Amino acid sequence: MKILVCVSNVPDTTTKVTFTENNTQFNTAGVQFIINPYDELSLTRGLELTEKLGGTVTTITVGLADTEASIRKALAIGATDAVRINAVPTDAYFVAEQIAAYAKAENFDLIFTGRESIDYNGGQVCGLLAEMLGLPSVNVITSIEVDGSTATMERDIDGGKEKVSANLPLVVSAQKELTEPRIPNMRGIMAARTKPLKVVEPTASELTSAAVGFELPAPKGSVKLISVEEAGSLIGILHNEAKII
């Protein structure tokens, strides 16, 4: 079983978001970058599947050399090898095109993406990539089992869950619950240093979108406090003052 896991390199969840260049660039100064949490789930599930069924787990990242700390961490967690497409990931369309160009010749059985990257929250790469490769896709999966050439999954739907089956090859996107993320151990960290990390130059691609500016939400006014004794008055306040119930 040949598995590809898309790994995006994102700001740590505690990052205080600010912008520079007249609010057109995300300010990366002092920001800690991590593997996108959903991609950690994909990677772990990929490893669990290959441990059971045999095979390899390759990670792929579209990014410049500064993403290699996250890539090495993915190798330390257990990935067999890694690919880095040497380009700035301008938008999901570009990322998907680059990954599709690489994956086309590789015949992966299963490709994992995350539900969304926690910085741009697009949730687009799974569907874009699947369509570009002409493969089926199942998004926001909370479980996956593979039996021969068939995958059985559960996915979130509005107001519930759906059990879905599909033949491999297949592209899926990981939702929390898929598994518990693995933490690299010392042996993994040592092994990661010598695991193959292939750097590939990007293919030509046309621009489809561009972020022209960013804005921070307006700060909240200060909180109005209600005393414990008067707690019941909250309901009246929400009705009369906030006019929300």
Ligand X SMILES: Cc1cc2nc3c(=O)[nH]c(=O)nc-3n(C[C@H](O)[C@H](O)[C@H](O)COP(=O)(O)OP(=O)(O)OC[C@H]3O[C@@H](n4cnc5c(N)ncnc54)[C@H](O)[C@@H]3O)c2cc1C
- Residues engaged in binding ligand X (CB under 6 A): 13, 37
**Measuring CA to CA, how many Å separate 4 from each of 99, 179, 192, 235?**
10, 17, 17, 52
Binding mask 62-101 for other proteins (x = CB under 8 A): ------------------------------xx--x-----
237 makes contact, choosing from ligand AMP, other proteins, ligand X, none, with CB < 5 to 8 Å by partner type, with other proteins
By CB under 8 A, is residue 234 in contact with other proteins? yes
What three-state secondary structure class fits 84?
Answer: strand
By CB under 6 A, is residue 19 in contact with ligand AMP? no
Task: Please report where in the chains the tokens 């518990």 appear, as a residue.
Answer: 180
Cβ neighbours of residue 178 closer than 8 Å, sequence gap 6 or more: 41, 42, 44, 45, 141, 142, 143, 144
By CB under 8 A, is residue 104 in contact with other proteins? no
Which of 125, 144, 146, 174 is close enough to bind other proteins by CB under 8 A? 125
**Cα distance between residue 52 and residue 44, in whole Å:** 13
190 makes contact, choosing from ligand AMP, other proteins, ligand X, none, with CB < 5 to 8 Å by partner type, with none
By CB under 6 A, is residue 135 in contact with ligand AMP? no
Among 50, 79, 15, 45, smallest CA distance to 175 is for 45
Question: Which 8-state DSSP code applies to residue 23?
Answer: T
Residues at the contact surface with ligand AMP, assessed by CB under 6 A = 6-8, 36, 38-39, 60-63, 89, 92, 95, 113-114, 116-117, 120-125
